């Protein structure tokens, strides 16, 4: 290809811009519950996110990337015109990045997955032809957007109900919190470790049997639980604090748990959503280097690295606006409520990453926060904020598609 180097440079710039948008918008969702429930400060949230988002993207980001890269467009139809895929993928990255910039400025938690899927489907349907889009695959993705918030909402609802039953609604909530919170901490460690082993460590070259995987995950869970127990024992409790807010000391124990769930959510998010930025980028690099549309292209480590760095910079520079919406806008969060929402969302995202479905972390987390709100009664939800969020979700798909079509024809005019 005559412009191969230019294409790779442009794709890297646009891919980095898109990753920045994922950081500014989506990571803020992942951290919103932790900051909103006052379990971590905004500075601590940035540090947690930087480490675990990056680890999730780099170690476990490969599976979903395949879907974004080649699952939505019929590669065989495009074998004769690979440059169209290059224009389209660059247009998609630029379109989704711009939409995320606008949404983040307004503090709307929109879906980066929607943005990029809408953009890719838009350019393919209009720029190449309706038959170029694999509508079956797109249908599956759209279904997952409905299923994921519902599933996360249900898990969060029951998690919070279990917290109420075993801890909050008992005669000795503080003693029960000390007894049961370590079990929740074990769950967090176990679930995240299991996913990393099943999905993330294949391209590092570690191959364990199913039994070994469960064994290692259980060991990690126990180690994380022991760290949690040590941290809980070091807490200082003030009996007078409970006069103002009956569960002040109990929430301190949950604050420890929230730190672990925040790490888990950041890891889960990095593994699923880095694909939105690096999937199209990998497609462009693969075509520019080989000159053809391949069904399979390897994911070079430097691309995952670029995506991970972009996400972290986006969060630190622009993430605070969306954090405010998710953390305090939808419903009032305490560490115990935030824990239920975050663990439910992380579990759902992790299941999706494992099956290769690019679900929306935003939908999943908002669904989980709604689930916790409903466990306390519908009056505890701020329905105006919920309405704005739902509207911004509906606009995201067409916005991504229209912008991508526009840029696609510009690139086509410049380079062909």
Please provide residue 133's backbone torsions phi and psi, each rounded to the nearest 5 degrees. -85, 130
Residue with tokens 């932790």: 34
d(CA 220, CA 267): 15
Task: Please report the pLDDT score of residue 98 as a whole number.
Answer: 92
Angle value at C-alpha 15, between 202 and 34, nearest 5 degrees: 70
Give the pLDDT score at 310.
86
Q: Which residues, in sequence order, are CB contacts of 348 under 8 Å at separation 6+?
A: 148, 151, 152, 155, 359, 364, 368
- Alpha carbon distance 393, 403 (integer Å): 16
Provide the pLDDT for residue 223: 92
Predicted confidence (pLDDT) at residue 295 exceeds the cutoff of 90: no
Residue 237 DSSP code: P
Q: What is the pLDDT of residues 211-260, one digit of tens each?
A: 888 888 899 899 989 988 888 888 777 777 665 556 777 878 888 778 87
Q: How far apart are the first and last CA of the chain?
A: 11
Both tokens of 13, joined, read: 């710039």
Number of domains the chain is built from:
1
* 258 SS3 class: helix
Residue that the structure tokens 């993330």 belong to: 200
In the chain, % of residues over pLDDT 90: 3
pLDDT at residue 231, as a whole number: 85
Between CA 384 and CA 391, with CA 390 as vertex, the angle to 5 degrees is: 90
Tell me the per-residue pLDDT of 65-111, one tens digit each, with 9 for 90 and over: 555 555 666 666 666 677 777 888 889 889 989 998 888 887 777 77
Tell me the backbone φ, ψ of residue 381, rounded to 5 degrees. Answer: -95, 140
Give the model confidence (pLDDT) of 45-55 as tens digits. 888 888 887 77
Mean of per-residue pLDDT scores for the chain: 78
Q: What's the domain range around 50?
A: 4-415
Residue 26 has pLDDT above 90, yes or no: no
Residue 291, pLDDT score = 66
Nearest to 56 by CA among 315, 269, 302, 341: 269
Mean pLDDT score, 123-132: 79
Token pair 């869970």 is found at 221
């Amino acid at each position: 290809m005559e412009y191969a180097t230019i294409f790779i440079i442009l794709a890297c710039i646009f891919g980095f811009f898109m990753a920045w948008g994922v950081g500014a918008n989506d990571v803020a969702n992942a951290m919103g519950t932790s900051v909103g429930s006052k379990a971590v400060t905004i500075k601590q949230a940035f540090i947690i996110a930087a480490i675990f988002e990056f680890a999730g993207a780099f170690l476990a980001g490969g599976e979903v990337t395949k879907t974004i890269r080649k699952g939505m467009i019929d590669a065989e139809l495009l074998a004769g015109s690979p440059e169209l895929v290059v224009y389209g993928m660059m247009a998609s990255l630029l379109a989704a990045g711009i939409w995320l910039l606008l949404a983040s400025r307004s503090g709307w938690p929109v879906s980066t997955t929607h943005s990029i899927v809408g953009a890719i489907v838009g350019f393919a349907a209009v720029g190449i032809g309706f038959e170029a889009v694999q509508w079956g695959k797109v249908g599956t993705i759209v279904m997952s957007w409905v299923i994921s918030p519902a599933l996360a909402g249900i898990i969060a609802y029951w998690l919070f109900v279990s917290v109420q039953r075993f801890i909050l609604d008992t005669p000795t909530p503080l003693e029960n919190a000390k007894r049961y919170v370590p079990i929740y901490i074990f769950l967090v460690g176990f679930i995240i470790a299991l996913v990393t082993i099943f999905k993330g460590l294949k391209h590092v070259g570690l191959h364990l049997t199913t039994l070994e995987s469960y064994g290692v995950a259980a060991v990690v869970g126990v180690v994380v639980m022991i760290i949690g127990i040590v941290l809980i024992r070091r807490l200082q409790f003030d009996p007078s604090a409970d006069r103002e807010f009956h569960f002040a000391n109990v929430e301190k124990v949950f604050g420890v748990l929230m730190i672990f769930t925040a790490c888990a959510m950041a890891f889960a998010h990095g593994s699923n959503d880095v694909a939105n930025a690096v999937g199209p980028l990998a497609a462009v690099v693969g075509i520019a280097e080989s000159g053809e549309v391949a069904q399979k292209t390897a994911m070079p480590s430097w691309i995952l690295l670029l995506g991970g760095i972009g996400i972290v910079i986006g969060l630190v520079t622009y993430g605070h606006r969306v954090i405010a919406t998710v953390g305090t806008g939808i419903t009032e969060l305490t560490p115990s409520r935030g824990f239920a929402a975050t663990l439910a969302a992380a579990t759902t995202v992790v299941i999706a990453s494992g099956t290769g479905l690019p679900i929306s972390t935003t939908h999943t987390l908002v669904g989980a926060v709604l689930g916790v709100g409903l466990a306390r009664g519908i009056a505890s939800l701020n329905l105006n904020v919920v309405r704005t969020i739902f509207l911004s979700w509906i606009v995201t798909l067409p916005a991504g598609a229209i912008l991508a079509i526009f840029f696609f024809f510009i690139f086509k005019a410049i380079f062909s």
